[in-house]
Structure 1
Amino acid sequence: MKKKIGISYTETNFQNYWNWFTNADLGDEIELIKLSFEKNNLEDLQECDGFLLTGGIDVEPSYYDGPKNYPYKPAQFLPERDHFEKLIYEYSQAHKVPVLGICRGMQYINILEGGKVLADIGGANEIHKKQTMDKVHHVKIGHNSMLYAIIGLEKGLVNSAHHQGVTNNTLSNNLIANSYSLTSDQLIEGLEFKDKTDKSFMLAVQWHPERMKEKEVNPLSQKIKERFIEEVKKHKK
């Protein structure tokens, strides 16, 4: 029976996440499932051996006791999506299913683990917020982190397209930052569990590995994907 990766549906560039997993990656062993809040296909969760929580619209502020109004607030939130992805994450933790979070996915994992997000990162938008195309900047990776073990680099170049973020002041007590922006804003660029005992794989990054330039050779895309696929293959229901 094939392993299955459930990708949460996003209204923003969903196909990029789907296409990130090539035929060579999937082979005859893995297939993809779209987990959609619009279809509410929660019954498919039990079929999955890995979950990818995607980027997209801001999480509704009530989930992290955030402000009702802030810069770049979306015209409309998607509380149905927030609720649906909350159930995905809770399922992943109850059944020890590997999780990869990207951009909003990283922020939401921090929220669901008891942390918060900055509703808007202010002046750092000049470096991080997408305009006509993704911004590009360096990140510093912590030596003792799982991310460093995967990447094998102290520093790397990533893309950026966000106006919300996680800092040490809003970080969940259950998580650690594995990477930071090298700019003066000190935004957290990646998260993993502080205590990995009896936990399945969970890695979350603020950048977009699925649409990064030269993603096939940049380890901050390719090696992350390879490790996630390894964990999916190892998962036992």
Structure 2
Amino acid sequence: MNKPMIGVLPLYDSGKESYWMLPAYMKAIENEGGIPVMLPLTTDEDIIAALAGKFDGFLFTGGHDINPVLYGEKAEAVCGEWCDERDRMEKLLFDQIVELDKPAFGICRGLQLFNVLCGGTLYQDIPSQMNADITVSHKQKPPYAEPAHSVHIHTGTLLHHILQTDQIDVNSYHHQGIKALPAGLTAAAAAEDGMVEAVSLQDKRFILAVQWHPEFSYGADSNSRKLFSAFVNACIPTN
């Protein structure tokens, strides 16, 4: 079997001016038969086009908040730090991925990014901006492999096809989330408070994102393994 080469979007530490990576992202891809490679952080359009053409799939990792200007809002005090270079790179790369119909898997920030780039909006801070009748813990304390709440999986979606179940328990570590879902993105799962927890892009072979962190629970949770397995398999070259 040809092992797919999968580009992993880098994390950025502004204080240290360094690119870095959580091993769990890489190990999960490697264990499922892929070859993970951390990408450079760049806004050079020629480099990004070359990356889009070279790799068989892409993992959009967690990390910074997203600059609210990208979804037409002014940053509130509750919004966290963002990285304009990362926002710009990931927008350029995502556009190429959609055009080339390459597989992409988004985690946490990845889901929020897909939503924004497709025309949706975000809660800049869930606790202070989202009004819900049911309280759900979206930002748990360690250990992060433990489940924090349940999500309902919508039937007929790519996520339901992968997991083959209507409900799962997930971990949760985020303070931003989807406020308005754009046309074209399908909501694939929701928490009890109504928060969208997974999305997929219609008419593409594999563009899927989840709000939780399957990389943290990969070693102990079969559903997390199913997600990475489906992603890596979708990236296997066909020729």
TM more than 0.5: yes
Structure 1 CA distance for aligned equivalents of residues 173 and 9 of structure 2: 18
Letter in 1 for 2:121: K
RMSD of aligned alpha carbons = 2.3
Contact 1:49 1:235 in 2 (8 A): no
Number of residue pairs aligned between Structure 1 and Structure 2: 221
Unaligned runs of 5+ in 2: 13-19
For 1:19, the equivalent position in structure 2 comes to 27
Do residues 191 (structure 1) and 199 (structure 2) align?
A: yes
Q: Tell me the TM-score normalised to structure 1 length.
A: 0.84
Q: Tell me the TM-score normalised to structure 2 length.
A: 0.84
Do residues 10 (structure 1) and 11 (structure 2) align?
A: yes
1:122 Cα offset (Å)? 1.6
For 1:60, the equivalent position in structure 2 comes to 67
Mapping for residues 35-74 of structure 1, pairs under 5 Å: 35-37=39-41, 42=48, 43-71=50-78, 73-74=79-80
Contact 1:177 1:192 in 2 (8 A): yes
Mapping for residues 90-129 of structure 1, pairs under 5 Å: 90-122=95-127, 127-129=137-139
Structure 2 CA distance for aligned equivalents of residues 17 and 2 of structure 1: 16
Mapping for residues 198-213 of structure 1, pairs under 5 Å: 199-212=204-217
Unaligned runs of 5+ in 1: none
Letter in 2 for 1:224: L
Structure 1 CA distance for aligned equivalents of residues 85 and 97 of structure 2: 19
Identity of aligned residues (%): 30
For 1:178, the equivalent position in structure 2 comes to 188
Do residues 139 (structure 1) and 147 (structure 2) align?
A: no
For 1:222, the equivalent position in structure 2 comes to 225
Structure 1 residue runs of 4+, over 3 Å off? Answer: 38-41, 123-126, 130-135
Structure 2 CA distance for aligned equivalents of residues 159 and 7 of structure 1: 21
Residues 38 and 89 of structure 1: CA distance in aligned 2, closer, same or farther (over 3 Å) = closer
For 2:168, the equivalent position in structure 1 comes to 156
Contact 2:7 2:57 in 1 (8 A): yes
